Structure 1
């Protein structure tokens, strides 16, 4: 696991949207500009499952950005769009870059997911504003070369929580072999006035996947219950 704790910014964040062109880098100056305090990347390698060797080497990784909640203290009628447009593209770039570095590039990634956890002074909608719009989701999907909608989880919690993040296939969401979850522990985050934004990815399916798929399913309706005891 790698953790990057960033010193506080010397100046206030810019008041305009951040471009996602070639000028968007993963440098600490960019991270500080949107209020990021910490970036954490964790990788696990699946070697055995159920006492037997995994079918193939599977790597799974999570990347987390911990940042100040820009809406903390605002009311429930606050317009979230301006800050979403300014912050979410930066988060997408920083987080996706770390997943790609950890897993060996977009070609290696087969499944992905996302999550956000808001501190106790924030709203669940603050978490959603940074992960459930095109300014985050579309960019993560582009960087990881996926086409599926990204499955997700979100929560409001105190620092030190863990969240279980679902994943599915990045181009074929109905492929059951790639339905899996990754537990992400948030050490010292989020503080009450912070958010933790998370993306996860895997280089393969669940170990020993063998429950079929929609392409091989026979038609199943409530008729299968006929003859069962009440």
Structure 2
């Protein structure tokens, strides 16, 4: 796995709707920009060897970094794979939709739910949203949120941006009733 760069972004929301957020709501994103392991090979029928060679190492690399950047216990999390224009969306999906990748983040976050995800193909600088859900109960509405990310020089056509995001709490000033009130 060739990692060109790692980008870390931490957002701290101190006010929402004209009111203070206390404690501030933090979201951390760590993105690794890697060479697409299937680039230049044409259509690859069996993605398994590339998954085996890269997914676990990638998860082991960035999962602890996002927890460290958040500096708090995460309550919500998500993931993304953004494939450069010379790759297939399936290449990004292959890396992030495996327990070899996701279990590193689940363990680091003490989480039990599946990680919500976004996958897409785009040019360098493409804007993407990472969906976040609660780490142990995906039906907790207060933690359904997204975080917007953009890396100006990535992905190059033969690269993939793989990102993890973690939030210290749900949406600031959330006021929706629990899902159970509608059932």
TM-score class normalised by the smaller sequence: over 0.9
Three-state SS of the structure 2 residue aligned to 1:211 is coil
Residue 159 of structure 1: how far off its partner (Å): 0.4
Partner of 1:20: none
Three-state SS of the structure 2 residue aligned to 1:136 is helix
Three-state SS of the structure 2 residue aligned to 1:135 is helix
Partner of 1:123: 88
CA RMSD of aligned residues (A): 1.2
Partner of 2:71: 104
Partner of 1:175: 140
Partner of 2:46: 79
The 5 A counterparts of 1:1-230 are 34-104=1-71, 108-215=73-180, 217-219=181-183
Distance 2:69 2:101 in 1: 20
Partner of 1:26: none
The structure whose Rg is larger is 1
Distance 2:172 2:46 in 1: 44
Residue 143 of structure 1: how far off its partner (Å): 1.7
Residue 130 of structure 1: how far off its partner (Å): 0.7
TM-score (norm 2): 0.95
Three-state SS of the structure 1 residue aligned to 2:124 is coil
Residue 186 of structure 1: how far off its partner (Å): 1.3
Over 4 Å off, 4+ runs: none
Partner of 1:11: none
Q: After superposition, what is the alpha-carbon deviation per residue over 1:51-96, rounded to whole angstroms, capped at 9, x for unaligned? A: 1111421110100000111101223343111111111111111111
Asked if the contact 1:55–1:208 (Cα under 8 Å) also holds between the matched residues in 2, the reply is no
Q: After superposition, what is the alpha-carbon deviation per residue over 1:4-47, rounded to whole angstroms, capped at 9, x for unaligned? A: xxxxxxxxxxxxxxxxxxxxxxxxxxxxxx11110111101010
Q: After superposition, what is the alpha-carbon deviation per residue over 1:101-155, rounded to whole angstroms, capped at 9, x for unaligned? A: 11125xx110000000000000000010110111111221112110011001111
Counting strand residues as a fraction of each chain, which structure ranks higher?
A: 2
Residue 171 of structure 1: how far off its partner (Å): 0.5
Total equivalences in the alignment:
183
Residue 214 of structure 1: how far off its partner (Å): 2.1
TM-score (norm 1): 0.77
